A and B are shown apart, each in its own frame.
Chain A
């Protein structure tokens, strides 16, 4: 068996293992539905779903970005990004329990709560169950359509080598990115921000999009660096590429801090009761330690590590940083979502873990299957030749 086929086999094994883990974890979680009650189940489910959805949207966003700006950094990870975006139909199916649990999750979806609150009554024009479902359907339709067209075009080019397809993807990518930013903004407002329906922030969409980009860079670099121990990825990973991916992740770490701090500073200075409540909740009862940890561990630590060219040069070191960032992203979303449910101090319920593993298992199963379903590197993309040249110019340095 040649080394490339072995790599395929590894992805196939990952897909089988992930599926098994996912099914077991979901079965355990289903038992949790009876044991811990449906409220807890839906809350844990919502959290786990958003964690994986952020990664999905991140990979999809980077696919669009890659086709728009055509940087050669994107070529070695393109198939991972595409496979990540290809999980959108799966995520649509997994969204159904969120819809089923709406009245458990969203205060505005409970008529008695709305009746008791005049402010919420003003918001019913936007925050109501049918409109929420219609909007979500529209988001998914746009995302799935765009992701499918781009994936198809990219695979077709691998077969036919037709270079005009590159331009075609670029023509879709740029307007696609505009649509992506708008739809993801509103999706995050609907799905996450409206958990606290009396609070709002206009940077919310940008904050989430940046966080998704960070997740996706960390994830795709992680997969690439693990896969780079074998062919064909071993041939494309070189210090120049890891430096580029490290620098892009670095940029997203900074952007995350920038958007987070902008939101915090503006709300803190104004100290308006309707806004500051968001940070008050998240800075008492033990949450303050998570807030501090996020600042130090999701910003300062990766910032300082990725500043060093040594970390970006050695795949082993960079891999550790990327995995760490991925873990911090899950903590970050825990800090965003759980206090919104009224969790007064940070407590991880076992359902949070099993559902994270359950949805994650299905996600990785689908992801690895899509990686296997195509050439591991975009073969006939003319820019890959650019990337090859890139490698050869760097090999003397390495």
Chain B
């Protein structure tokens, strides 16, 4: 017991090792400015590039032949396209939570992961956006989704959450991109100043937008960043709430349930943190960033994953309970079908991946074990994908009339597009690591400054107990 007590307060700090401002700048900046990269970087980028070609091929063939090449059919009209859309957009949410909400909550541990997580958000939203665009069948007229008063006089159906999705996702992408770029400007200026190569100097110089490190620049920068954080915060909740409404406003058993908005938001953050861990753990080892991405960061992320995972599980419990309590035969059949129907293995696997296995994160020992954390994060990624599969497919494939029941089997083109987006995402993330400082340099320097001052201050022992506290007793 005693040992455990010590353990739950990890002895690690937010910055480890002996660092000065110069070593922080060098350690992070040199990844971008030097040409020497680990061999693994080339191998992964090459494999990811291959899948980018798979993606391009899948899209090209789709545009030539139409959505008939996919496994979607009647009654399952929403197959992989919607499953993967929801999966990807959920993954993005961790980035926004880390960069915006944790900033407003003054959580210092966000500093070394926010840049990374924001990049992840942007690429994940790009992947997500592809799916509904391709699913509409004629992507070249996708602009009809926008309320442009066109020559046909046709307006989108404003009461449909599918239209709210268009607004929500485009706003989300725009704000995330602006937020990310704004946060990058001081670092881009640092790179501009440190680059030896003329081309790099010009490119970083243009991107730094004339940053001169003046007090006025910093003042404006801070207010802009805070405003963008305020704008992003509702987006963490609104985007996935609207995605959940795509399902919940319908009449389909399994979709029409009021817990959906908070449950989807929690699921999004859950999968997002799993993806951050999946990416951070190998990259921190690859570039030896253990001093900045410490065990404390991993511990915090694991805790958030555990908490949001529990909320998701609460969602399952409420769904099942409400269906049984409702005494509605369709709702009850849906639950039976999930547990024992043709897609039952997916449902059970989902319960194990999302509900059972992540419970080991209660143990501080597991949260301190990098390999285990990596494995669990992969399991949660799979679990959250299965969740969307179960929601989409089991509700659609058997509805009210047994005569219209059917099955859904994805085709090779479904898989091609899905694996293609994973390749695209990995490819973009690895390019990001190569060309942009993966950790915010100036925020790390600021953090170093704050933690140094903290150490310099008198130890927070009994000495600071104010006199008033002695008067508290009756």
Contacts and interface: CB of A to CB of B under 8 A. Distances in A.
Interface of A: 2-5, 8, 119, 122-123, 126, 164, 167-168, 170-171, 174-175, 178, 181-182, 185, 189, 200-206, 231-232, 235, 258-259, 262-263, 265-267, 269-270, 272, 274, 372, 375-377, 379, 384-386, 388-389
A243 B237 CA distance: 23
Contacts of A274: 328
**Which 5 pairs between the two chains have the least Cβ-Cβ distance?**
A122-B327, A269-B249, A202-B259, A203-B258, A202-B322
Contacts of B468: 231-232, 235
A270 B471 contact: no
Nearest to A389: B464
A182 B142 CA distance: 44
B322 A201 contact: yes
A185 B471 contact: no
B258 A202 contact: yes
B8 A185 contact: no
Given A235-B468, A262-B261, A376-B472, A119 B327 contact: yes
B464 A4 contact: no
Contacts of A272: 251, 256
Contact of A202 (B2, B319, B469): B319
Interface in B421-474: 460, 464-466, 468-469, 471-474
A388 B8 contact: no
Contact of B310 (A178, A263, A269, A377): A178
Nearest to B461: A385
A377 B472 contact: yes
B251 A232 contact: no
Contacts, number: 112
A258 B262 contact: yes
Contacts of B159: 269
B471 A4 contact: yes
A76 B310 CA distance: 29
Given A265-B245, A266-B245, A379 B472 contact: yes
Interface string B1-41: 01001001100000000000000000000000000000000
B100 interface: no
A98 B262 CA distance: 32
A265 B5 CA distance: 46
A185 B249 contact: no
17 contacts: A3-B471, A8-B474, A126-B325, A164-B5, A168-B5, A200-B322, A200-B326, A205-B318, A232-B468, A232-B469, A265-B249, A267-B258, A269-B249, A379-B469, A379-B472, A385-B464, A388-B464
A357 B250 CA distance: 44
Contacts of B84: none
A203 B244 CA distance: 13
Contacts of A174: 362
B53 interface: no
Interface of B: 2, 5, 8-9, 159, 237, 241, 245, 248-251, 256-262, 310, 314, 317-319, 321-322, 324-328, 362, 460, 464-466, 468-469, 471-474
B62 to A, nearest CB: 31
Given A205-B318, A270-B249, 20 more contacts: A4-B472, A167-B8, A174-B362, A185-B314, A202-B318, A203-B259, A232-B468, A258-B237, A265-B245, A266-B249, A266-B256, A266-B260, A267-B258, A270-B256, A272-B251, A372-B474, A375-B473, A377-B469, A385-B465, A389-B460
Contacts of A389: 460, 464
Contact of A185 (B5, B318, B328, B472): B318
Nearest to B249: A269
A206 B314 CA distance: 10
Nearest to B2: A164
Nearest to B326: A200
Q: Of B251, B460, B464, B468, which is in contact with the most chain A CB atoms at under 10 Å from its CB? A: B468
Contacts of A122: 327
Q: Of A5, A206, A235, which is in contact with the most chain B CB atoms at under 10 Å from its CB? A: A206
Contact of A388 (B259, B362, B466): B466
Contact of A258 (B248, B261, B327, B469): B261
A2 B258 CA distance: 54
A70 to B, nearest CB: 11
Contacts of B325: 123, 126, 189, 200
Contacts of A376: 472
Nearest to B306: A174
Q: Of B317, B325, B460, which is in contact with the most chain A CB atoms at under 10 Å from its CB? A: B325
Q: Of A185, A203, A258, which is in contact with the most chain B CB atoms at under 10 Å from its CB? A: A203
A361 to B, nearest CB: 24
Contacts of B322: 200-202
A175 B286 CA distance: 36
A2 B460 CA distance: 28
